[in-house]
Amino acid sequence: MEKEKLQSILILVFSVIFALTVYIFRADVPTTWYLSAEALMAAAAAAALHSILSFFGVIGLWGSKKKK
């Protein structure tokens, strides 16, 4: 349980760092739709949301349902 919480926190921290990096350097990010700054920030936001949900036990860290 503690290992999953630590992993969730690490994923959240690195997602935020990644999103901020993309936001700061968005002018240098390639403009194809799958590598656009908006798409990369959306992926970082999804990873951050997933890690928050897994930290609070709503879902498992890797998407599985929590055992009762």
* Cβ contacts of 18 within 8 Å, gap of 6 or more: 40, 44
pLDDT of residue 68: 56
pLDDT of residue 26: 80
pLDDT of residue 41: 86
Q: Would you kindly state where each structural domain of the chain is located, as residue ranges? A: 2-55
pLDDT one-digit tens code per residue, 22-65: 888 887 767 776 678 888 888 899 888 888 888 887 777 665 55
pLDDT of residue 62: 63
Does pTM surpass 0.75? Answer: no
Q: Residue ranges of the alpha helices (H) in 1-68?
A: 2-24, 37-55
